[in-house]
Amino acid sequence: MKDNIILSIHPNYADLIDEGKKIYEVRTRCLNLDVGTRIWIYKTSPKSSISSYAEIEKIICISPDKAWKKYSREMFIKKVDYDNYVKNKKEIYLLKLRHITKLSKEIKLSDLKKKNIEFYPPQFFKKLKDTEVIYRTLNKLL
């Protein structure tokens, strides 16, 4: 069974992932995930919804300068925003995404709460256990 995680991403960047334009997600901390892990994309506030899922194709540990030179076009982030995000980091992690699939309808946090599905958006990411209702709810969409 593949691991499943929920990854919180700013709505502007999540939209670019949904459109297939952004295929590298930048992280400043190691996520300790495996290739093939399914990522459920949680758009942070104000959208507060799960919009799509993807699979990790590759995880690259790299210096911020090298990452910008080699992958900036696929990271889809402005240089000034990138520099602010990776400031003072010796290495960063790029998650290369594949099989990006947009859900036919976004799952809003408010709808999950109305159904009494316990879900708290992660600050960073959350590994899902197959015993959790949110896991079963999301996997019914596959």
In terms of residues, how long is the chain? 142
Q: Would the pLDDT of 71 be above 80?
A: yes
Looking at per-residue pLDDT, the higher value among 119 and 35 belongs to 35
Task: Give the predicted TM-score (pTM) of the model.
Answer: 0.91
- With a pLDDT cut of 70, the percent of the chain lying above it is 99
Task: Tell me 128's DSSP state.
Answer: P
* pLDDT above 70: residue 1: no
Helix (H) or strand (E) holding 135: helix 133-139
Q: What is the CATH number of domain 4-137?
A: 2.30.130.30
Kindly list the domain boundaries of the chain, sorted by start residue.
4-137
Give every CB contact of residue 51 below 8 A, 6+ residues apart in sequence: 14, 15, 18, 41, 43, 102, 103, 106
